[in-house]
Structure 1
Amino acid sequence: MSSDTSRVHVPSDGGDAVFLVGDTCTTLLRSERTNGEFSMIEAIVPADAGPPPHTHHNESETFVLREGQLVINADDQEHEAGADDVVHIPKGVEHSFRSLSQDEPARMHLMHAPAGVEDLCTEIGTPGERGVVGPPLNDTDVAAMGAAADKHGHSLG
């Protein structure tokens, strides 16, 4: 791991974007810039879309919804979140989310502690563009996520 933890500025058009399981994920802060403490990803979730149920076994995930509306299911609880709401999912809790917006995508920041989720995104995502809605979720995406899940401390369903 690099020890470059100097101050970081990511401009509004910066970051490393990939299309991943129907979302556009742009890594804003990687592990090597935060000494492994956390990572931050901007996610754009198309209208009426979202990833399948999954579990992060190594890191907690905090959602900060910026635009749109989401329903986040975690274990047996359902949370409807709107702009500026925050939802925290501890590691080891199965969860999924879906955009409730019918016309516009939802946009959020995801923070993971400790860092590491960004490596999964880079490995299985396809090159994307920040702010652009990518292709819809398909079986190939889900299969790629399932194949890489164990390596990155995740499980599906």
Structure 2
Amino acid sequence: MNAHNAPSPIPSSGLDPKTGTTVHLLGTLVTFKATALDTEGTFSLVEATTAPGQGTPPHIQRDDAEAFYVLEGTFDFMVGGQTSRSGPGSFHYIPRGAPHGFANNSDKPARMLIINLPGGLHENFFVEAGDPVADATVFPPMSPPDIPRLIKAASRYGIEMLPPA
């Protein structure tokens, strides 16, 4: 198996939608709902809850595709240099190589589902760059990210961080 569809170190989440390992990364609680192990490497599915004022910097990745579906709150999505505010029911598809990022610029947490194709790359990045948390509903204290750790993990899984717009 090549790095493109590397097996995930995250245990299979099974079919119970209330289970799954959670990590904290860049102000977002990422709970794994379906991993590469669950989907024969086809895709991974996470539920992401982002704290107010937090989000991901612009980046490009080598995944085949990524998609976001907003469940609660609002996110500002940047895709290919264009930014749009998105609320519940909004969907964003990100093809390979498209610069993108998101932020929760509201005063309440916002929640969405993220699908990555194929499975493995993003979930392995989340695990390596993030910190495990026991409670998927409580944000740990916010602190500046460990940039060297983030960049190293990103490069290992085909993610290139871009300078802020």
Q: Shared fold by TM > 0.5?
A: yes
Tell me the TM-score normalised to structure 1 length. Answer: 0.88
C-alpha contact 2:70 2:113 (8 A) present in aligned 1: yes
The CA RMSD measured in Å over matched residues stands at 2.0
Structure 2: distance between partners of 1:112 and 1:123? 16
Q: Does 1:120 align with 2:133?
A: no
Give the letter for the 1:71 counterpart: D
1:34-69, CA deviations, whole angstroms, 9 ceiling, x for partnerless residues? 011100011111112111111111231111100000
Indicate the SS of the match to 1:58. coil
Structure 2: distance between partners of 1:137 and 1:37? 34
Gaps of 5+ in 2: 1-6, 9-13
Q: Which residue of 2 aligns with 1:136?
A: 142
Q: 2:115 aligns with which of 111, 116, 123?
A: 111
Q: 1:56 aligns with which of 42, 61, 77?
A: 61
Q: 2:17 aligns with which of 7, 11, 14?
A: 11
Q: 2:150 aligns with which of 145, 151, 157?
A: 145
Structure 1 stretches of 4+ moved >6 Å: none
C-alpha contact 1:58 1:114 (8 A) present in aligned 2: yes
Structure 1: distance between partners of 2:31 and 2:116? 13
Give the letter for the 2:157 counterpart: H
Q: Which residue of 2 aligns with 1:101?
A: 106
C-alpha contact 2:17 2:33 (8 A) present in aligned 1: no
Q: Which residue of 1 aligns with 2:3?
A: none
Q: Does 1:67 align with 2:44?
A: no
